[in-house]
Each structure stands twice: as C-alpha cells, then as structure tokens.
Amino acid sequence: MIIKDGAGSGSEARVNASNKLDIHGVTQSEALYSIESGDGYNINTGLITAIASDSSLLYVKNNENKDLVIDTIFVAGFNGITHSDDPYLTIRRNPTGGDLISDATAVSSNVNRNFGSSNTLSVTAYKGKNGGTITGGDVLGILALQQGARDAFPINLIISKGQSISLQLTANVSSGSASYYAAMTCYLKNSNFK
C-alpha cells in the first residue's frame, strides 16, 4: 500500500529504516497557539495606589462571541503595610454590583500578547480602588497572598460571552498603605479545540 498526498502533489509517505512512517510533529499549548494566532491577551489594572484597607482589584466581563480562557491570575502587593494576618484574594463569579462596577474605571492595559497582531479583545475591564466594593455573584475561590510580593495562580477558567469575574483583596491591614496591581493572562478559545 502506498500513502499519497491527498492534495494532489504526487508526494508519497516516507518509511524509515525501522519500517515506521517518517513524520514530524510539533506540540504546543493551546495558550501559545492562541498567542501566535493573535488571540492571546494581558489585562492589567496598573498600580492601584494607597491601598490601606480591603479593596476591589479587577472586574472583567467577556463581550466576545468566543469563550475567554483565563490561564493565570497575578496579584502583587508592595511593601508599606503592616498586616494583622496574611492578605488573601477572593475570586467572584458573575458579580452584580459594588463600586468596582458602578465607578467604571478602565484598566491600565488590555493588550495583545503577540506584538505583531493588531487584534483587540472585546471585554469590559475595570480596575478597583482602596476600599472598593464588589457584591453579588458566587465566590469561586479564595487564594492566599504573600505579603509584599507577587503571586501567580495558574487557574484555567472559562468565561463565556456575557459572563464576568472579579478579584477582591482582603488586605488585613493594621497600619500603613501600599500599591497593588492585579492582572490576567488570557486567550480566546479556538473552535478547533474541543
């Protein structure tokens, strides 16, 4: 039996010395594939200054027709706060209110991770503020944060069109203040991957 190119080039498959079909394959993550295709993004609040109490950090609502996959959440807090206990992050699914949404302060960056792509991500993305509030929806999880450090959480969440996510900081401040930021690396799910 001869395996021929179905596209009509007349090429035939090669068999190596071990009587195996000679092939070449490349394996990569779906996230990297999406970045190469111009569908990988970074959403970042930029610095939220003078955090001195429990605060809202980030709200993202997917307006795309494709699912938005959040693969990693980042939170960083700088030095300047004396904590009464470790700070932590609450992830909320489909929040409905609070001044994080009503104040509608746009994030500092919503950028494509492929420097050669001009694609943009259609999301509603707001940054929080000191003492900011988030209400409604469901608590998806709570993540412990390090004091005065940057934390990264590989999380793999799928946000369908019209769905949203928020991040809220419980800072456990006993004195002082510091800047924080929150970010998400994400990509639009390719319909070829089921």
pLDDT greater than 70 at residue 30: yes
Q: What confidence score (pLDDT) does residue 68 get?
A: 98
Listed in sequence order, the residues at least 6 apart from 56 whose beta carbon sits closer than 8 Å to its beta carbon are 98, 99, 100, 128, 129, 132, 133, 134, 166, 167, 168, 169
pLDDT greater than 80 at residue 70: yes
CATH for 30-188? 2.60.120
pLDDT greater than 90 at residue 46: yes
Listed in sequence order, the residues at least 6 apart from 86 whose beta carbon sits closer than 8 Å to its beta carbon are 144, 145, 146, 147, 172
- For 23-37, 66-80, 95-109, 165-179, which range has the lowest pLDDT when averaged over its residues? 23-37
Tokens of 167: 């991040």
- pLDDT grade for 118, boundaries at 50, 70 and 90: very high
- The answer to whether 86 touches 172, Cβ cutoff 8 Å, is yes
